[in-house]
Structure 1
Amino acid sequence: MSIETGPVLLLQWLSPAYPVGAFAWSHGLEAAVARNEVADGAGLEAWLGDLLLFGSARADAILLAAAFHAANGAVLAEVDATARAFAPSRERLAETVEQGAAFCRATSGVWGGSLRGLTYPVAVGRAACMHGLPLALTLEMFTHALAANLIAAGQRLLPVGQIEGQRILKNLGPLVSDAAKNALTADLSGLSSACFAADIASMAHETQYARIFRS
């Protein structure tokens, strides 16, 4: 894979058009909005900033890097098992498992290979390694895509317009880069999350009566 084609490939994999179904999941945000824990653009930015600094967005970057560095199938399976165990709720587990399975199907169907049955960040990390993509760029673009997708979910739930959504994404840029850079030197022993409100929101969403997202 040349350095010129690498970014183009990542743009395709992490585009909203790539068939992983990311639009269907809110990562617990819908429940947080219903509970009035996130009520506007400022609240959305703070919520996502915490995920990047202390929560699942930071953890997913570490899992992606661990999958990229996995020396063999046994190590990769251990990373994937850790990703599944780290999911704090049934819906968050389904979110990473189903998006990962869809990513594996699409990527194997287009580029070939034996990518299958992995959680989402693990699947992206493994695919990036298989195709010779730079880890640093993969981490930054994956984390940016995660933030952008959750902003899009927030725009469906809150009075947040397109311009405000882009401002939020711009403001989160340094935290996206920080989470990506942290994952370059971290390993699974550094996996942690302190975003308990987000975890609880994802649990509450499982029994929420009216909802438009699957998590």
Structure 2
Amino acid sequence: MTIHTTRITMSTDAFLTLTQWLSPGFPVGAYAYSHGLEQVIDRGDMRDAKALRDWVQDILEHGSGTSDGILLSASYKSLPEDVSRIDAIARAFASSAERMTETVDQGSAFAKAVDAIWATDLGQLCYPVAVGRAACAQGLPLDLTLEIYTHAFAANLVSAAVRLVPLGQTEGQAVLAALAPLIRQVARRCHDADVDDLTTSCMALDIAAMHHETQYSKVFRT
């Protein structure tokens, strides 16, 4: 009974720590980034919940939803001396200046907060790399880290669309709930992947992110 209780406590502690790290309230400024969706919405390519679901599904399956998970997994499993190489790959994989800003600035903000509160020494890392190293340092399960990170990634995209399309909160939450099985699937796929498995085929979104850099009027940084 004591062993069982200890396992539950450890699992609960890990879940609560990851929920805190990846919640909208953690100071990484995720609310300021749309990941290129603002440009997609501005040009009229996203007008309803179905279009949002299709876009986010593609990003999760074929774009940065998967590549971020692979980078997180690789950094979690890597030796300390290999982290800088993985971080350099993460920066090289950013498809535009704004996407670079998004991953670097959020990673720096995340690392600063975690270093101050959990006494780690993450330094300046891209966001998924920083999360992977922090989870490893705290002994948090990789599978749970990937699931909650991927869910938070999708939730931030949905939140941006709710504000911009606009969509109702219920519609947005329905989209996120519908994506839950895919989120778990992407997390499982990334668990055993490495940087050699990095790929992307969301060119329309990458181009939208590039166009956003010169968009005349915008609310989000990306």
**TM-score (norm. length: structure 2):** 0.95
CA contact (8 A) 1:64 1:139 kept: yes
Q: Which residue of the other structure, out of 63, 67, 77, is the alignment partner of 1:59?
A: 67
Q: How far apart are 1:77 and its partner, in Å?
A: 0.5
Which residue does the alignment assign to 1:152?
A: 159
Work out the percentage of aligned pairs sharing the same amino acid. Answer: 49
Alignment partner for residue 31 of structure 2, among 11, 23, 31? 23
Describe the SS at the equivalent of 1:79. Answer: helix
- Structure 1 alignment gaps of length 5 or more: none
Q: How far apart are the structure 2 equivalents of 1:12 and 1:123?
A: 15
CA RMSD of aligned residues (A): 0.9
Bigger Cα Rg: 2
TM superposition shift of 1:205:
0.1
Aligned partner of 2:201 among 171, 194, 202: 194
Amino acid at match of 1:59: S
**Cα displacement (A) at 1:4:** 2.5
How far off its partner does 1:141 sit? 0.2
State the secondary structure of the residue aligned to 1:37: coil
Q: 2:130 aligns with which of 101, 123, 129?
A: 123
3-state SS, counterpart of residue 192 of structure 1? coil
C-alpha distance after superposition, 1:96-145 (max 9, x if no partner): 00000000000011111211100000000000000000000000000000
| Distance in 1 between residues matched to 2:78 and 2:162, nearest whole Å | 37
The answer to whether the aligner puts 1:181 opposite 2:188 as a matched pair is yes
Take 1:153 and 1:99, find their aligned partners in 2: how far apart are those partners?
16
Quick one: distance in 2 between partners of 1:15 and 1:8?
A: 10
TM-score, normalization by structure 1: 0.98
Letter paired with 2:193: A
Q: Report how many residues are paired.
A: 214
Aligned: 1:34 with 2:45: no
Aligned letter for 2:165? L
Aligned pair partner of 1:48 in 26, 41, 56: 56
**Consecutive aligned runs of 4 or more in structure 1 exceeding 3 Å deviation:** none
**Aligned equivalent of 1:97:** 104
Question: After superposition, what is the alpha-carbon deviation per residue over 1:25-47, rounded to whole angstroms, capped at 9, x for unaligned?
Answer: 00000001112222211111100
Distance 2:11 2:185 in 1: 23
Shift of 1:59: 0.5
Return the alpha-carbon distance in structure 2 between the equivalents of residues 161 and 81 of structure 1. Answer: 39
Q: Indicate whether 1:14 and 2:36 are aligned.
A: no
Contact 1:41 1:159 in 2 (8 A): no
| Paired amino acid for 1:200 | I
Kept in 2: contact 1:51–1:195 (CA 8 A): yes
